[in-house]
Amino acid sequence: MTSDLKSEIMTDSKKLSFDSSKIQDDFPILETKINGHRLVYLDNAASSQKPEAVINALDNFYKTTNSNIHRGLHTLAEKATNAYEHCREHVAKFIGGVSCEEIIFTSGTTESTNLVANSWGNENIGEGDEILITEMEHHANLVPWVLLAQKKNALLRQIPITTDGTLDLTDINKLINEKTKLLAVTHMSNVLGTINPIKELIELAHKNGALTLIDGAQAVPHMPVDVKDLNADFYCFSSHKMLGPTGVGVLYGKKEILEKMPPYILGGEMIREVSFEKVTFNDLPHKFEAGTPNIADVVAFDTALTYLENIGMENIRNHEIEISKYAIEKLTEIEGITIQGPLDETIRGAAISFTDRDVHPHDISTFLDSRGIAIRAGHHCAQPLMKVLKTVATARASFYIYNDRADVDYLAETVKEMRRYFRG
């Protein structure tokens, strides 16, 4: 982040938004030309771009610090270990001030949910038990539970959605009952943008003796998240959606639960003592981090967290409320375009899926790409949701800190041009 921008944000505590055009200067990839046009990157729900500070942090680690961690006694090993563990401390603070023992580094949200399914799930889900999800889940928070339910002869149930893309909680007191062992839901939908009432759902689950797992991949990058306030038992998210490198994820779990769970992957680092007859496991969090971790990318993730903090997560949320409102207004003005999900920008994130009554989403994406606009088209790893929406795919434009109204205007005008092109 430029020093001028940082100063502007830090000295104006009442500022509700920020100048995205200044932030754009920190992202080298935004200078890229696509088919002769300026890049307008609107695929942030899939993965965000990286500021120069994060790129430099990754480069600097390999140039000055590269070493394996934890067991080495030499200078580089200690330096690398300190940098890696500093990121763990930073993550713990970023999501509400939890214990470092409760922060497990994984390869991403997908591995985080699989870890819980294969460790806690295998130990605690039995025949006749119920797992409750929603109709809007990403496959990462769906497939592990489908297979676990099949393996354990348990029942996988779903909270339905309404026509406006919010959760239908009419029968929630029947869906969450004494048979429910786990509530696994997304905090924010990657397709609909819907922000779910997570705190209320967690409270209801706990009243019925169930544990909770929250997929926060779309939430943590875009708004303040306090897992202690939510009282989540497990919370998962990924670095690459919040300005950090790929290949780094986080699983937060309550210490008392993690301590009772068996390791997910076996090997080095996660052990305390090994013989041919017996194995004892390491303390948290290392019990769940077998082998050499993704050290350099974790260290660079630390820098990404600092970048977001310098802007302020409240500021980011307010910016996305503003840009979502503007984008919804512009897109709904276009004949033939239908937005999937809530139209109220205050209960949704900045991932906006839409369909065209005349043009397939893949053709929309291809045409927009020819004009330099990067969106995503397809089922977005949410095939059951597509069936609920009665469509095979959607086009999705998703916004972040470096997107502004000019990007929305260009998107809307290009969608209009696309419709003229395909309709003749």
- Percentage of the chain beyond pLDDT 90 is 89
Q: How confident is the model at residue 19 (pLDDT cuts 50, 70, 90)?
A: confident
- Domain ranges in the chain with CATH number 3.40.640.10: 56-309
Closest C-alpha among 238, 343, 349, 310 to residue 51:
310
Write out pLDDT tens, residues 123-145: 999 999 999 999 999 999 999 99
pLDDT at 154 over 50: yes
Question: Residue range 363-376: average pLDDT?
Answer: 98
Contact (CB, 8 A) for 38 and 372 = yes
Confidence at residue 187, expressed as pLDDT on a 0 to 100 scale: 98
The pair of three-digit structure tokens given for residue 359, joined into one six-digit string: 């043009």
Q: What is the predicted pLDDT for the residue at 300?
A: 98
Q: Where are the beta strands (DSSP E) in 194-270?
A: 211-215, 234-238, 249-253
Which residue reads 């790409």 in tokens? 369
pLDDT score for 214: 98
Determine the pLDDT at residue 27: 98
pLDDT at position 11 is: 31
For the ranges 14-28, 83-97, 191-205, which has the lowest average pLDDT?
A: 14-28
Rounded to a whole number, what is the largest CA-CA distance in the chain? Answer: 75
- The architecture in CATH of the region 3-31+312-423 reads Alpha-Beta Complex (3.90)
- Residue 413 pLDDT: 98
Active-site hit among 87, 100, 236, 381: 381
Mean of pLDDT over the chain: 94
Residue 381: active-site member: yes
pLDDT score of 270: 78
Q: Which helix (H) or strand (E) holds 305?
A: helix 295-311
Contact 87, 302 (CB under 8 A): yes
Whether residue 72 has pLDDT greater than 90: no
* Residue pLDDT, tens place only, 186-241: 999 999 999 999 999 999 999 999 999 999 999 999 999 999 999 999 999 999 99
In the chain, which residues fall in CATH 3.90.1150.10?
3-31+312-423
* Distances 147 to 114, 133, 152, 153, 369 between C-alpha atoms, Å: 11, 14, 9, 10, 37
SS3 content of the chain, % helix, strand, coil (to 5): 45, 20, 40
CATH fold of 56-309, please?
Aspartate Aminotransferase; domain 2 (3.40.640)
Residue 242 tokens read as 């919040």
Question: Cα–Cα distance between 179 and 422 in angstroms, integer?
Answer: 52
> How is 45-87 classified by DSSP, letter by letter?
TT-----HHHHHHHHHHHHHT----SS--SHHHHHHHHHHHHH
Spatial strand order of the sheet with 337-340 comes to: 337-340, 351-356, 394-398, 376-378
Tell me: pLDDT of 98 over 50: yes
> What pLDDT, on a 0 to 100 scale, did the predictor assign at position 268?
76
